[in-house]
Structure 1
């Protein structure tokens, strides 16, 4: 009788593990689709739609915002990206690698475009996105913004 209880407990435990793994795989696949949609919307310059992928007052770290973690509303996000689109109307990002890690996605990509002085640029960037409940809560972006000419 004791052996049957242990066997049944083991079967239930294994079923729970498989169920959790399937659920995690599904969430990870949904989050990866969110990231792919993020870059599609960015490349189409659909700033409002892009902002809807974030929670209100998401946290950002980006050299263009300074060194500290900054919270931005969706309206502030739209304004910042609209200004970027005006400065560099042909800006595009191309994903080179995506590394999922739980509720975080590390994305390497190359940003290209033309500056107001008509010079073209290519910039390697790495962003760590934290996704909770289907929305981006943190956007931690890193790139070399050191101007070697100064």
Structure 2
């Protein structure tokens, strides 16, 4: 009986520790990324760009086939030009997938209307790498055909 109580006690302790790890191992960057998309939807390119490292790695079909390093100023310019082409540009996050300590994957739908009234709806997936409180890599995938 003593052994059974010991086993139950140990099991309970490990189960509690396992639950604690699950709740604390949730990616701490989820709120950070939600703020990122809030800045995006407000077209606050300065605040959004400040969430990146001084120079971050981007993989984005709009920038070519390879990884491109971008500064805050280049990021602000890119998104400012994008919002001029699509003044009502908005992203709707559909899913956020924590992926380890440094990564978070975001599925979202980007929508906008050009000055000629042509609209687009584009599903996009981005893998963010976050280190020391800033985005160091932004690898974005979408069909650009």
Identify whether the pair has TM-score above 0.5, normalized to the shorter chain.
yes
Cross-structure match for 1:137: 136
The counterpart of 1:47, out of the listed 45, 48, 54, is 45
The C-alpha deviation readout for 1:95-142, integer Å capped at 9, x for no partner, is 001100111111000000102321111000000000011110000000
Cross-structure match for 2:11: none
**Normalised TM-score (structure 2):** 0.82
Distance 2:116 2:58 in 1: 28
Cross-structure match for 2:71: 73
Distance 1:79 1:111 in 2: 19
**Normalised TM-score (structure 1):** 0.79
Cross-structure match for 2:6: none
The C-alpha deviation readout for 1:30-63, integer Å capped at 9, x for no partner, is x111100010000000000001110011000101
CA 1:75–1:24 in 2, change beyond 3 Å: closer, same or farther? farther
Cross-structure match for 2:127: 128
The C-alpha deviation readout for 1:11-31, integer Å capped at 9, x for no partner, is xxx8xx88xx489637x23x1
The aligned length equals 128
- Structure 1, unpaired ranges of 5+: 1-13
Distance 1:97 1:22 in 2: 19
Q: How does 1:62-141 map to 2 (within 5 A)?
A: 62-102=60-100, 103-141=102-140
Distance 2:120 2:23 in 1: 41
Distance 1:116 1:65 in 2: 23
- Structure 2, unpaired ranges of 5+: 1-13
Q: Please give the secondary structure, in 1, of the residue aligned with 2:116.
A: coil
Distance 2:24 2:58 in 1: 25
Q: Please give the secondary structure, in 2, of the residue aligned with 1:68.
A: coil
Distance 1:80 1:52 in 2: 14
Tell me the C-alpha RMSD between the 2 structures. Answer: 2.0
